[in-house]
Chains A and B, each alone.
Chain A
Protein backbone atom coordinates (compact mmCIF):
# COMPACT_ATOMS: atom_id res chain seq x y z
CA UNK A 1 0.00 0.00 0.00
CA UNK A 2 2.77 2.40 0.99
CA UNK A 3 4.76 1.49 -2.10
CA UNK A 4 1.70 1.96 -4.30
CA UNK A 5 0.28 5.16 -2.87
CA UNK A 6 3.22 7.14 -1.50
CA UNK A 7 4.24 7.99 -5.08
CA UNK A 8 0.70 9.30 -5.57
CA UNK A 9 1.22 11.78 -2.74
CA UNK A 10 -0.34 9.87 0.15
CA UNK A 11 1.61 10.10 3.40
CA UNK A 12 1.68 7.15 5.75
CA UNK A 13 2.38 7.16 9.46
CA UNK A 14 2.50 4.47 12.05
CA UNK A 15 1.52 5.80 15.50
CA UNK A 16 3.59 4.09 18.17
CA UNK A 17 1.60 3.71 21.39
CA UNK A 18 1.93 1.88 24.68
CA UNK A 19 2.35 -1.89 24.51
CA UNK A 20 -0.79 -3.99 24.09
CA UNK A 21 0.79 -7.15 25.51
CA UNK A 22 3.48 -6.69 28.12
CA UNK A 23 6.20 -9.30 27.83
CA UNK A 24 5.33 -10.68 24.40
CA UNK A 25 8.58 -11.36 22.54
CA UNK A 26 10.24 -10.16 25.74
CA UNK A 27 9.34 -6.52 25.10
CA UNK A 28 8.33 -4.53 28.17
CA UNK A 29 6.90 -1.07 28.69
CA UNK A 30 9.28 1.87 28.35
CA UNK A 31 9.58 4.29 31.26
CA UNK A 32 11.06 7.21 29.32
CA UNK A 33 10.42 8.77 25.94
CA UNK A 34 13.93 7.79 24.90
CA UNK A 35 13.04 4.16 25.53
CA UNK A 36 9.82 4.49 23.55
CA UNK A 37 11.85 5.90 20.66
CA UNK A 38 14.15 2.88 20.95
CA UNK A 39 11.05 0.72 20.58
CA UNK A 40 10.36 2.48 17.31
CA UNK A 41 13.88 1.76 16.14
CA UNK A 42 13.36 -1.84 17.18
CA UNK A 43 10.07 -2.00 15.30
CA UNK A 44 11.80 -0.68 12.20
CA UNK A 45 14.49 -3.34 12.59
CA UNK A 46 12.13 -6.22 13.27
CA UNK A 47 9.50 -5.36 10.69
CA UNK A 48 11.69 -3.76 8.06
CA UNK A 49 9.12 -1.13 7.17
CA UNK A 50 9.99 2.17 5.51
CA UNK A 51 6.90 3.93 6.79
CA UNK A 52 7.43 6.96 9.03
CA UNK A 53 6.59 6.60 12.70
CA UNK A 54 5.19 8.98 15.26
CA UNK A 55 5.55 8.36 18.98
CA UNK A 56 2.82 9.01 21.49
CA UNK A 57 3.76 10.90 24.65
CA UNK A 58 4.55 9.05 27.85
CA UNK A 59 1.18 10.18 29.18
CA UNK A 60 -0.44 8.51 26.16
CA UNK A 61 -2.22 11.67 25.03
CA UNK A 62 -2.83 10.54 21.47
CA UNK A 63 -3.98 7.06 22.52
CA UNK A 64 -6.58 8.65 24.76
CA UNK A 65 -7.65 11.16 22.14
CA UNK A 66 -8.37 8.46 19.58
CA UNK A 67 -10.27 6.06 21.81
CA UNK A 68 -7.60 3.72 23.23
CA UNK A 69 -7.84 1.28 20.35
CA UNK A 70 -4.81 -0.95 19.82
CA UNK A 71 -4.71 -0.96 16.04
CA UNK A 72 -7.04 1.78 14.83
CA UNK A 73 -6.78 3.21 11.34
CA UNK A 74 -7.60 6.59 9.85
CA UNK A 75 -7.54 8.29 6.49
CA UNK A 76 -7.41 12.08 6.59
CA UNK A 77 -8.14 14.28 3.64
CA UNK A 78 -5.81 17.17 2.71
CA UNK A 79 -7.66 19.42 5.21
CA UNK A 80 -6.89 17.05 8.10
CA UNK A 81 -10.47 15.84 8.25
CA UNK A 82 -11.19 12.19 8.95
CA UNK A 83 -12.71 10.56 5.89
CA UNK A 84 -12.31 6.93 7.01
CA UNK A 85 -12.01 5.53 10.51
CA UNK A 86 -11.73 1.98 11.81
CA UNK A 87 -11.12 0.62 15.27
CA UNK A 88 -9.07 -2.16 13.73
CA UNK A 89 -6.84 -1.86 10.68
CA UNK A 90 -8.23 -3.60 7.62
CA UNK A 91 -5.73 -3.53 4.75
CA UNK A 92 -8.13 -4.76 2.13
CA UNK A 93 -10.68 -2.11 3.02
CA UNK A 94 -7.93 0.49 3.16
CA UNK A 95 -6.84 -0.37 -0.35
CA UNK A 96 -10.41 -0.01 -1.54
CA UNK A 97 -10.63 3.36 0.22
CA UNK A 98 -7.47 4.64 -1.41
CA UNK A 99 -8.63 3.38 -4.77
CA UNK A 100 -11.81 5.43 -4.34
CA UNK A 101 -10.17 8.53 -2.88
CA UNK A 102 -6.90 8.72 -4.78
CA UNK A 103 -7.33 6.39 -7.72
CA UNK A 104 -6.37 2.90 -8.81
CA UNK A 105 -2.85 1.60 -9.27
CA UNK A 106 -1.89 -0.51 -12.25
CA UNK A 107 -0.04 -3.26 -10.44
CA UNK A 108 -0.86 -3.47 -6.72
CA UNK A 109 2.11 -4.59 -4.66
CA UNK A 110 1.87 -8.01 -3.04
CA UNK A 111 3.61 -9.47 0.00
CA UNK A 112 5.87 -11.49 -2.28
CA UNK A 113 6.89 -8.33 -4.14
CA UNK A 114 8.25 -6.84 -0.94
CA UNK A 115 10.39 -9.80 0.09
CA UNK A 116 9.82 -8.86 3.71
CA UNK A 117 12.02 -10.59 6.23
CA UNK A 118 10.79 -10.38 9.79
CA UNK A 119 13.78 -10.19 12.11
CA UNK A 120 13.65 -12.01 15.45
CA UNK A 121 13.60 -10.13 18.73
CA UNK A 122 16.87 -9.86 20.65
CA UNK A 123 17.92 -12.92 22.61
CA UNK A 124 20.63 -12.09 25.11
CA UNK A 125 20.34 -15.19 27.31
CA UNK A 126 18.25 -18.36 27.53
CA UNK A 127 14.69 -18.32 28.77
CA UNK A 128 12.47 -21.05 30.21
CA UNK A 129 14.88 -21.76 33.06
CA UNK A 130 13.11 -20.10 35.99
CA UNK A 131 9.50 -21.29 36.43
CA UNK A 132 6.85 -18.61 36.13
CA UNK A 133 4.62 -17.81 39.08
CA UNK A 134 1.16 -19.28 38.78
CA UNK A 135 -1.44 -16.53 39.05
CA UNK A 136 -4.70 -17.88 40.40
CA UNK A 137 -7.78 -15.81 39.76
CA UNK A 138 -8.15 -12.45 38.09
CA UNK A 139 -5.26 -10.00 38.25
CA UNK A 140 -5.29 -6.38 37.14
CA UNK A 141 -2.23 -4.38 36.09
CA UNK A 142 -1.51 -1.53 38.50
CA UNK A 143 -0.09 1.91 37.92
CA UNK A 144 3.61 1.53 38.74
CA UNK A 145 5.50 4.79 38.41
CA UNK A 146 9.21 4.31 37.85
CA UNK A 147 11.15 6.94 39.75
CA UNK A 148 13.17 7.91 36.72
CA UNK A 149 14.33 11.22 38.20
CA UNK A 150 16.28 9.27 40.83
CA UNK A 151 17.91 6.88 38.42
CA UNK A 152 21.67 6.57 38.10
CA UNK A 153 21.37 3.91 35.41
CA UNK A 154 18.78 3.00 32.82
CA UNK A 155 15.94 0.83 34.04
CA UNK A 156 17.50 -2.36 32.71
CA UNK A 157 14.75 -4.32 34.46
CA UNK A 158 11.17 -3.16 34.47
CA UNK A 159 8.59 -3.80 37.17
CA UNK A 160 5.20 -5.24 36.36
CA UNK A 161 2.76 -4.95 39.25
CA UNK A 162 -0.67 -6.54 39.28
CA UNK A 163 -3.32 -6.92 41.96
CA UNK A 164 -5.66 -9.78 42.52
CA UNK A 165 -9.21 -8.58 42.00
CA UNK A 166 -10.03 -9.09 45.69
CA UNK A 167 -7.15 -6.86 46.73
CA UNK A 168 -8.79 -3.98 44.90
CA UNK A 169 -12.35 -4.74 45.93
CA UNK A 170 -11.90 -5.85 49.58
CA UNK A 171 -8.44 -4.53 50.41
CA UNK A 172 -7.06 -8.01 50.99
CA UNK A 173 -5.45 -10.24 48.42
CA UNK A 174 -2.31 -10.95 46.45
CA UNK A 175 0.06 -8.51 44.82
CA UNK A 176 2.15 -9.73 41.90
CA UNK A 177 5.57 -8.21 41.27
CA UNK A 178 7.41 -9.22 38.14
CA UNK A 179 10.84 -7.94 37.14
CA UNK A 180 11.47 -8.23 33.44
CA UNK A 181 14.75 -7.51 31.74
CA UNK A 182 14.35 -4.98 28.96
CA UNK A 183 15.70 -6.46 25.71
CA UNK A 184 16.53 -3.03 24.30
CA UNK A 185 19.51 -2.97 26.69
CA UNK A 186 20.95 -6.39 25.82
CA UNK A 187 21.49 -7.38 29.44
CA UNK A 188 20.91 -10.65 31.25
CA UNK A 189 20.81 -12.02 34.78
CA UNK A 190 24.28 -13.24 35.70
CA UNK A 191 23.43 -15.97 38.19
CA UNK A 192 26.91 -15.90 39.69
CA UNK A 193 25.99 -12.50 41.11
CA UNK A 194 23.52 -11.98 43.94
CA UNK A 195 19.89 -12.72 43.07
CA UNK A 196 17.33 -10.02 42.49
CA UNK A 197 15.87 -8.66 45.71
CA UNK A 198 13.15 -6.19 46.63
CA UNK A 199 11.90 -4.15 49.56
CA UNK A 200 8.41 -2.77 50.01
CA UNK A 201 7.65 0.31 52.05
CA UNK A 202 4.18 1.59 52.81
CA UNK A 203 1.86 3.02 55.44
CA UNK A 204 2.02 1.23 58.78
CA UNK A 205 -1.66 0.33 58.46
CA UNK A 206 -0.88 -1.75 55.40
CA UNK A 207 0.31 -5.30 55.97
CA UNK A 208 2.56 -6.74 53.26
CA UNK A 209 4.16 -10.14 53.48
CA UNK A 210 6.89 -10.74 52.65
CA UNK A 211 7.93 -7.10 52.61
CA UNK A 212 11.40 -8.15 51.53
CA UNK A 213 12.31 -10.93 49.18
CA UNK A 214 15.02 -12.47 47.07
CA UNK A 215 14.78 -14.22 43.76
CA UNK A 216 15.78 -17.83 43.29
CA UNK A 217 19.33 -19.11 43.12
CA UNK A 218 19.61 -20.39 39.59
CA UNK A 219 22.05 -23.08 38.47
CA UNK A 220 22.35 -21.86 34.90
CA UNK A 221 25.10 -19.24 34.58
CA UNK A 222 22.80 -16.74 32.90
CA UNK A 223 19.19 -16.33 31.83
CA UNK A 224 16.65 -13.67 30.99
CA UNK A 225 13.51 -15.05 32.62
CA UNK A 226 11.43 -12.66 34.67
CA UNK A 227 11.84 -12.76 38.45
CA UNK A 228 8.38 -12.96 39.96
CA UNK A 229 6.98 -12.66 43.47
CA UNK A 230 3.54 -13.01 45.03
CA UNK A 231 2.93 -10.95 48.15
CA UNK A 232 0.00 -11.14 50.55
CA UNK A 233 -1.42 -7.69 51.21
CA UNK A 234 -4.00 -6.40 53.64
CA UNK A 235 -4.37 -2.71 53.04
CA UNK A 236 -7.64 -2.29 54.88
CA UNK A 237 -9.13 0.94 53.64
CA UNK A 238 -5.81 2.53 52.83
CA UNK A 239 -5.51 4.01 49.39
CA UNK A 240 -1.97 5.26 49.98
CA UNK A 241 0.58 4.10 47.43
CA UNK A 242 3.44 1.82 48.38
CA UNK A 243 7.08 2.03 47.41
CA UNK A 244 9.15 -0.75 45.89
CA UNK A 245 12.92 -0.76 45.69
CA UNK A 246 14.50 -3.32 43.41
CA UNK A 247 18.12 -4.40 43.71
CA UNK A 248 19.77 -6.38 40.93
CA UNK A 249 22.85 -6.81 38.86
CA UNK A 250 22.55 -5.80 35.23
CA UNK A 251 25.06 -7.77 33.24
CA UNK A 252 26.40 -8.22 29.76
CA UNK A 253 29.28 -10.46 28.74
CA UNK A 254 31.61 -7.51 29.38
CA UNK A 255 30.31 -5.84 32.52
CA UNK A 256 28.09 -6.37 35.52
CA UNK A 257 26.87 -3.49 37.69
CA UNK A 258 24.73 -3.31 40.82
CA UNK A 259 21.54 -1.34 40.34
CA UNK A 260 18.91 -0.14 42.81
CA UNK A 261 15.75 1.43 41.45
CA UNK A 262 12.47 2.60 42.88
CA UNK A 263 8.82 2.46 41.91
CA UNK A 264 5.67 3.85 43.45
CA UNK A 265 2.64 1.59 43.09
CA UNK A 266 -0.88 2.98 43.27
CA UNK A 267 -3.97 0.91 43.85
CA UNK A 268 -5.29 1.93 40.49
CA UNK A 269 -5.71 -0.19 37.40
CA UNK A 270 -3.36 0.93 34.67
CA UNK A 271 -5.45 1.17 31.53
CA UNK A 272 -2.43 2.04 29.42
CA UNK A 273 -0.11 -0.83 30.22
CA UNK A 274 -1.82 -3.56 28.23
CA UNK A 275 -1.91 -7.05 29.67
CA UNK A 276 0.33 -10.00 30.18
CA UNK A 277 -1.44 -12.17 27.67
CA UNK A 278 -3.42 -14.92 29.39
CA UNK A 279 -2.30 -13.85 32.89
CA UNK A 280 -4.04 -10.55 33.57
CA UNK A 281 -7.36 -8.92 32.90
CA UNK A 282 -7.52 -6.75 29.83
CA UNK A 283 -8.43 -3.32 31.28
CA UNK A 284 -10.96 -3.05 28.47
CA UNK A 285 -12.90 -5.93 30.02
CA UNK A 286 -13.34 -4.36 33.45
CA UNK A 287 -17.09 -4.24 33.25
CA UNK A 288 -17.04 -7.97 34.02
CA UNK A 289 -15.51 -7.41 37.44
CA UNK A 290 -16.94 -5.78 40.56
CA UNK A 291 -15.29 -2.53 41.57
Chain B
Protein backbone atom coordinates (compact mmCIF):
# COMPACT_ATOMS: atom_id res chain seq x y z
CA UNK B 1 0.00 0.00 0.00
CA UNK B 2 1.09 3.55 -0.37
CA UNK B 3 0.36 4.56 3.18
CA UNK B 4 2.59 7.22 4.55
CA UNK B 5 3.51 8.38 1.09
CA UNK B 6 2.17 11.75 0.14
CA UNK B 7 0.99 11.75 -3.44
CA UNK B 8 -0.06 14.63 -5.54
CA UNK B 9 -3.51 14.73 -7.06
CA UNK B 10 -2.36 13.56 -10.48
CA UNK B 11 -0.64 10.55 -9.00
CA UNK B 12 -3.68 9.63 -6.99
CA UNK B 13 -5.87 9.98 -10.04
CA UNK B 14 -3.56 7.74 -12.03
CA UNK B 15 -3.53 5.12 -9.31
CA UNK B 16 -7.30 5.29 -9.02
CA UNK B 17 -7.64 4.66 -12.73
CA UNK B 18 -5.32 1.67 -12.42
CA UNK B 19 -7.33 0.21 -9.57
CA UNK B 20 -10.63 0.81 -11.32
CA UNK B 21 -9.37 -0.83 -14.47
CA UNK B 22 -8.10 -3.76 -12.42
CA UNK B 23 -11.48 -4.13 -10.73
CA UNK B 24 -13.36 -4.04 -14.01
CA UNK B 25 -10.94 -6.51 -15.52
CA UNK B 26 -11.34 -8.79 -12.53
CA UNK B 27 -15.08 -9.14 -12.91
CA UNK B 28 -15.02 -9.22 -16.67
CA UNK B 29 -12.29 -11.77 -16.89
CA UNK B 30 -13.76 -13.92 -14.16
CA UNK B 31 -16.95 -14.01 -16.15
CA UNK B 32 -15.16 -15.27 -19.19
CA UNK B 33 -12.39 -17.29 -17.68
CA UNK B 34 -9.52 -15.34 -19.16
CA UNK B 35 -6.36 -14.78 -17.14
CA UNK B 36 -6.71 -12.35 -14.30
CA UNK B 37 -3.71 -10.46 -13.02
CA UNK B 38 -3.31 -10.26 -9.27
CA UNK B 39 -5.06 -7.30 -7.69
CA UNK B 40 -3.17 -7.92 -4.50
CA UNK B 41 -0.49 -5.75 -5.98
CA UNK B 42 -2.90 -2.88 -6.40
CA UNK B 43 -4.35 -3.31 -2.91
CA UNK B 44 -1.22 -4.14 -1.07
CA UNK B 45 1.14 -1.89 -2.92
CA UNK B 46 3.69 -4.62 -3.18
CA UNK B 47 4.41 -7.15 -5.80
CA UNK B 48 6.00 -9.48 -3.29
CA UNK B 49 4.62 -12.95 -3.51
CA UNK B 50 5.21 -14.52 -0.19
CA UNK B 51 2.88 -17.41 0.49
CA UNK B 52 0.96 -20.22 -1.05
CA UNK B 53 -2.55 -21.23 -0.05
CA UNK B 54 -3.33 -23.82 -2.67
CA UNK B 55 -0.89 -25.40 -5.10
CA UNK B 56 -0.06 -22.92 -7.81
CA UNK B 57 -1.81 -20.02 -6.08
CA UNK B 58 0.38 -17.50 -4.31
CA UNK B 59 -0.36 -14.30 -2.47
CA UNK B 60 0.95 -11.80 0.01
CA UNK B 61 1.78 -13.20 3.39
CA UNK B 62 -0.49 -10.85 5.37
CA UNK B 63 -3.54 -11.74 3.36
CA UNK B 64 -2.60 -15.39 3.49
CA UNK B 65 -2.34 -15.37 7.27
CA UNK B 66 -5.77 -13.84 7.74
CA UNK B 67 -7.27 -16.08 5.12
CA UNK B 68 -5.74 -19.16 6.68
CA UNK B 69 -6.81 -17.98 10.12
CA UNK B 70 -10.38 -18.47 9.00
CA UNK B 71 -9.56 -22.18 9.20
CA UNK B 72 -11.22 -22.90 5.88
CA UNK B 73 -9.66 -25.39 3.57
CA UNK B 74 -10.35 -28.01 0.98
CA UNK B 75 -12.66 -30.75 2.33
CA UNK B 76 -14.28 -28.38 4.85
CA UNK B 77 -17.96 -27.58 4.70
CA UNK B 78 -18.53 -24.04 3.50
CA UNK B 79 -19.62 -21.96 6.54
CA UNK B 80 -23.36 -21.81 7.11
CA UNK B 81 -24.01 -18.08 7.42
CA UNK B 82 -27.23 -16.10 7.22
CA UNK B 83 -26.95 -13.60 4.38
CA UNK B 84 -29.40 -12.15 1.85
CA UNK B 85 -30.17 -12.67 -1.78
CA UNK B 86 -30.09 -9.67 -4.10
CA UNK B 87 -33.74 -8.96 -3.32
CA UNK B 88 -33.09 -8.81 0.41
CA UNK B 89 -34.62 -12.19 1.21
CA UNK B 90 -32.93 -14.29 3.87
CA UNK B 91 -30.53 -16.85 2.45
CA UNK B 92 -28.41 -19.29 4.42
CA UNK B 93 -25.27 -20.43 2.66
CA UNK B 94 -25.97 -24.01 3.80
CA UNK B 95 -28.41 -24.01 0.87
CA UNK B 96 -25.49 -24.08 -1.57
CA UNK B 97 -25.84 -27.80 -2.19
CA UNK B 98 -27.18 -30.15 -4.83
CA UNK B 99 -24.74 -29.21 -7.57
CA UNK B 100 -21.37 -27.63 -8.02
CA UNK B 101 -21.26 -24.01 -6.88
CA UNK B 102 -18.79 -21.25 -7.72
CA UNK B 103 -18.62 -18.29 -5.32
CA UNK B 104 -16.49 -15.20 -5.65
CA UNK B 105 -16.49 -12.36 -3.14
CA UNK B 106 -16.22 -8.77 -4.26
CA UNK B 107 -17.68 -5.27 -4.24
CA UNK B 108 -18.04 -2.12 -6.37
CA UNK B 109 -14.58 -0.89 -5.49
Q: Which residues of chain B come closer than 8 Å to A137, judged between CB atoms?
A: 4
B56 to chain A, nearest CB (A): 7
Interface flag for A240 (CB, 8 Å): no
Most buried by A among B27, B31, B72, B109: B109
A87 and B53 contacting across the interface, CB-CB below 8 Å:
yes
B105 and A17 contacting across the interface, CB-CB below 8 Å:
yes
Knowing that A55-B83, A75-B102, A284-B62 touch, tell me 9 more A-B residue pairs with CB under 8 angstroms: A9-B99, A15-B103, A37-B84, A43-B107, A47-B28, A75-B101, A84-B74, A111-B32, A285-B3
Closest chain A residue to B18 by CB distance?
Answer: A277
Q: Which residues of chain A come closer than 8 Å to B29, judged between CB atoms?
A: 91, 111
B39 to chain A, nearest CB (A): 6
Given A55-B85, A66-B72, A72-B67: A18 and B94 within 8 A (CB)? no
Closest chain A residue to B95 by CB distance?
Answer: A80
Task: State which of A9, A88, A134 has its C-beta within 8 Å of the C-beta of B6.
Answer: A134
B106 and A87 contacting across the interface, CB-CB below 8 Å:
no
- In the bound complex, how far is the Cα of B23 from the Cα of A180, in angstroms? 21
Interface flag for A204 (CB, 8 Å): no
Tell me the A residues contacting B by CB distance below 8 Å. 1-2, 4-5, 9-25, 27, 33-34, 37, 39-44, 46-47, 49, 51-57, 61-95, 98, 101-102, 108-111, 113-114, 116, 118, 132, 134-139, 274-275, 277-282, 284-285, 287
Task: State which of A1, A16, A101 has its C-beta within 8 Å of the C-beta of B107.
Answer: A16
- In the bound complex, how far is the Cα of B20 from the Cα of A8, in angstroms? 32
- In the bound complex, how far is the Cα of B108 from the Cα of A25, in angstroms? 9
- In the bound complex, how far is the Cα of B13 from the Cα of A130, in angstroms? 15
- In the bound complex, how far is the Cα of B3 from the Cα of A275, in angstroms? 10
Q: Which residues of chain A come closer than 8 Å to B6, judged between CB atoms?
A: 134-136
A25 and B109 contacting across the interface, CB-CB below 8 Å:
yes
Between-chain CB contacts (< 8 Å), 24 pairs: A1-B32, A9-B99, A11-B101, A12-B103, A21-B109, A23-B109, A24-B23, A25-B108, A57-B83, A62-B93, A63-B105, A67-B69, A71-B104, A73-B102, A75-B101, A76-B101, A77-B100, A78-B99, A86-B53, A88-B59, A89-B104, A95-B33, A139-B3, A284-B63
